[in-house]
Chain A
Amino acid sequence: MTTRILATLVFLAVLAAAPAFVPPFEVRVLSLFCFWGALSLAWNILGGFAGYWSFGHTVFVGVGAFVPGVIVAKLFDGGGAELMPLLVLVGGLVSAAFAGIIAWPLLRLRGIYFAIAMLGVAQVTGELSAAIEWIGGGVGLSLPDAVPAALAPEAFFHYIFVGLLALTIGAAAWVRGARFGQGLLAIREDEDTARMLAVPTEGYKIAALVLSAFLTGLLGATYGFSLGYITTDSVFRTDFSLNMIVHALLGGIGTIAGPLLGAAVMVVLTQVVLGEMLNLHLFATGALVVAMVLLAPQGFLGLWRRKPRAQREPGP
């Protein structure tokens, strides 16, 4: 256990040190890995542990990014750069609150119905963000440049993404070890039996969604700042929702290392190997997913770790 914590800390420290040693492009690739890995791990708290697959998790990226955008536009007239940490936190909190509101009706749905309902929520929220003029999604929103003079932009955002990845790993590891996490596993395996064993299934499902949305919202807000200018199309992205699931599936769903491994493979594949051939991304993603589903349904981790894990459909 302690060796695992130590290994994780070393891994994060090496990641964080990258800007001192590698050129800007590689730093951006590593930041992208942190962003995708953390997103997938946040998704995994609900999807992997509790077995409730969300097909629309990008809604929390979008809400997380739009909230600071709107606040900055309405209250600070485009300024407020020094408030970035607070604005990111508010983005996460509003995402979490939004999740809390939709959780009650949505988490009564099981399996594929929940997944589709989340897709619908993401679609509708995205449309609304573009349609409501007051929010400004149609035209877009500017986020202030918060990068300190002493730092290169890619280094600044890299440090934040590494920090958020550390936070997400910490949160997921805590959940996994806690009574809460064991309850989520019970829900994933058989929700009726979980109820009989006195697992507070309703409360746990809501808590898992809210925690997942909070982390996703923080990531979305930071992503918004790193773009500097956001529109509906740049943050309410269906491919984000899809990637979170694909990374978890590739690496090993329901584990902690799995989603990170999946994200790493996809980042290397799409940014490094196929970097020049943009139109091949989707093809490569699709081919890899099909191959994995056929050859290693438990993900890369399942290939060398014969840990028991049922091959399950999304949800019960």
Chain B
Amino acid sequence: MTEPVLEIRGLTKRFRGLVALDHVDFTVPEGTICGLIGPNGAGKSTMFNLVTGFLPPSEGEIRFRGTPVTGWSPQQAGRSGVARAFQIARPFPGLTVRQNVRIGALFGRSGPRDVEAATDTALALLGIEDLADRPAEGLTVGHLRRLEVARALAARPVLLLADEPCAGLNPAETDAMIAALRRIRDGGVTIWLVEHDMRAVMGLCDRILVISAGRAIAEGTPGEVAANPAVIAAYLGSEEQEAHGA
């Protein structure tokens, strides 16, 4: 048995009155793609904020590769091999696509000699090498998302936290992103994925954690989760309501 990349125990985050995460447990095994799903405001991005050190947890423990890392800084997380693609893609607007990705590589875990190689590999894997010299400002949503993932990947992370990488993508772009994530996993990077696109989640994930209003309500394989009545009620149900309401 290999050691889990990430272990979450009793993780809790309170924002004044609001409990955004309530004693959540989860384990991300090495070499897998795990999912984190739940309705809007369930606490998914908050989970990533805690794991990456952007926010300190109120309670609970986070272990990365067996080491307790609760309350670490974003820099410590980054240096240790946790990369993140933000929900709202945040490339450096004034720099080119290549400069963006290269900064990921420069401060990541590849040695100084590997910076250009890591940059080229990440650009190619996301299929944006043709855009390398274009300014990040003014890219389409699809390209921005790919740039966001490429920059995270260039750091040669151990764990990639991808917050809705398919949001705003058309079906063809979604397929490309799914294929890219699979190739990233095959390259040895463990992935934890937040995604509303059910096709992406069900097709990609080995295990899924479902949260609703900060609480874990189900956990298991995609099949198990999809068949769970609590999930259907809390998550798929609300999706349907949204769909009908719209």
A positions within 8 Å CB-CB of B? 179, 182-183, 185-186, 188-190, 192-201, 308-310, 312
Contacts and interface: CB of A to CB of B under 8 A. Distances in A.
Given A182-B102, A182-B103, A189-B93, A197 B155 contact: yes
Given A196-B74, A196-B78, A200-B75, A189 B106 contact: no
8 interchain residue pairs of minimum CB distance: A308-B135, A198-B78, A189-B92, A310-B94, A195-B74, A310-B93, A198-B107, A198-B79
Contact of B90 (A179, A190, A308): A190
Nearest to A195: B74
Given A186-B92, A189-B93, A197-B78, 5 more contacts: A195-B75, A195-B78, A200-B75, A308-B95, A310-B94
Contacts of B54: 192, 196
Contacts of A183: 103, 106-107
Contacts of A197: 78, 103-104, 107-108, 151, 155
Interface string B67-81: 000000111011100
18 contacts: A179-B106, A179-B107, A186-B103, A188-B94, A192-B74, A192-B90, A193-B86, A194-B103, A196-B77, A197-B103, A198-B75, A198-B78, A200-B75, A308-B94, A308-B95, A308-B137, A310-B93, A310-B94
B96 interface: yes
A196 B52 contact: yes
B10 to A, nearest CB: 25
A186 B107 CA distance: 11
Interface residues of B, number: 31
Contact of A201 (B75, B93, B94, B108): B75
A276 B115 CA distance: 55
A198 B108 contact: yes
Contact of A185 (B52, B84, B92, B112): B92
Nearest to A254: B94
Interface of B: 52, 54, 73-75, 77-79, 83-84, 86, 90, 92-96, 99, 102-104, 106-108, 112, 134-137, 151, 155
Contacts of B104: 197
A311 B86 CA distance: 23
A51 to B, nearest CB: 9
A199 B155 CA distance: 11
A308 to B, nearest CB: 3
Contacts of B95: 185, 189, 308
Given A195-B73, A195-B74, A189 B94 contact: yes
A182 B108 CA distance: 13
A308 B134 CA distance: 8
Contacts of B155: 197-198
Contacts of B90: 190, 192-193
Contacts of B99: 182, 185
Contacts of A193: 86, 90, 92
B106 A309 contact: no
Nearest to B136: A308
B86 A312 contact: no
B230 to A, nearest CB: 33
A190 B104 CA distance: 13
A190 B92 contact: yes
Nearest to A185: B95
Contacts of A186: 92, 103, 107
Contacts of A190: 90, 92
A190 B95 CA distance: 11
B9 to A, nearest CB: 23
Contacts of A188: 94
Nearest to A180: B106
Contacts of B73: 195
A118 to B, nearest CB: 23
A61 to B, nearest CB: 29
Contacts of B107: 179, 183, 186, 197-199
A308 B96 contact: yes
Contacts of A310: 93-94, 137
Contact of B106 (A182, A196, A308, A312): A182
B75 A199 contact: yes
Nearest to B90: A193
A193 B52 CA distance: 11
Contacts of A308: 94-96, 134-137
Contacts of A185: 92, 94-95, 99, 103
